Structure 1
Amino acid sequence: MRIDIISLFPEMFTGPLGHSILKRAQSRGLISVQVTNPRDFTYDKHHIVDDCPFGGGSGMVMKPDPIFRAVESVVSASSASRKRIILMCPSGQVFDQAKARELAGYEQLIFVCGHYEGIDARIREHVVHEAISIGDYVLTGGELPAMVITDAVARMIPGVLGADDGAQQDSFYNGLLEYPQYTRPREFNGWEVPEILLSGDHAKIEKWRQKESLKATLERRPDLMDKVELSSQDYKLLEEIKSEQAGG
């Protein structure tokens, strides 16, 4: 996958893109990430990318022409047939795991990062395919959301995590929160690892993990339960959980 990011601050991406899973994914050729500065597509000697809003008001608005030319440059630089141009915007669709899986199906993603008081509305109306937000709050710019989405989407690409089913074990992948994880030492500060995880009985361990996943979701994010497709085994486990909670 090719990922292009249109940003006034390319330096912000050096750290996140140069470490851990994202670095390894790029080194192995599984993803390619390019950051393009719209200042490079201005024609005036001061490289101005913003101006006062029509109608008055505080702050500055990013001009449409440098953004448009920057997007055109990265679109034409790729032979990908499945492209998606996305505006990072507080008023966009809230990002979730389902959207990460959807975006992972494209060959090229182009993230447009706003700044100041935002981008001229004609970019949203005529250039991008959709707008995405990472939550109901306002950030200084679209750079941090673009990093978040890049990381989440990259994890969905086969081979990025190494293990074939690595992403499927993450919280939210199937709509549920992840079950608790433990490692050595077996006992720490008097706190023991659940005995079943030491049993070697993989069927019982899988059942325990699914039950714990359901329990965590029910307790911490009950709103997710209405969106999850549950199996008959899941319903049995939920009955067990509710019975235990009632008895406790």
Structure 2
Amino acid sequence: MADRPAAHPIRVLVVEDDPIAAEAHALYVKRLDGFDLAGIAGTGSEALAMLRRQTEAGGAVVDLVLLDMNLPDLHGLDIIRRIRGSGSSVDVIAITAVRELGVVRSAISSGIVQYLIKPFTYSAFSEKLGNYRLFRENLHAQASSTTQSEVDNAFAALRPPSQGTLPKGLSEETLRAVVSFLSAAPAPVSAVEVASSLELSRVTARRYLEHLADGGSARRMPRYGTRGRPELEYTWNR
């Protein structure tokens, strides 16, 4: 099952000097729901120029930069510093073969939102960007002011539970879709409503909702006012 796309596609700039890798990453972006390819840059200077034109034009051309840390003209850390120095709030995901702990720490402290180490599969790429999209959706769903729990919930999307922590038969991809739907819902929802919206069976939707409720991410309560046995409804813990 595919993740639900965001209301507005996330525009992605791929920054990679290897033409084959750049094309592969661009194709990966095009395969993902909720993402659009904004362009490809082969050097740091080209990437900075594209972002500068965005700022000068006053439009949101790029939301996310997939940044190779080792480029022929500039190091990725230098690019990130220049991006932040320009006042740009564009998000950055580092995509690189660099494994040195010092570089990783520097990249994290400079404000990247994810770190992908080459080589990686499309599945790993899809998971990282899916988590990032959920992070954005959770933040954008908040009002102009927020609470600690709302911020924690947004950042938790960048660190989803590993596959090994899920009960047998549950997948992280479907879990992310259920979390995204539930956290954005303006009112409590039932398993039937989640199943209908995400094209799941009622039993499957109920398993994911119960998993979230058992883990404390959601609250369950009876829904009264219906005929027969009360139906359970679920609310995201904000």
Structure having greater relative contact order (Cα 8 Å, sep ≥ 6):
1
TM-score calculated relative to the size of structure 1: 0.37
TM-score calculated relative to the size of structure 2: 0.38
Which has the larger Rg? 1
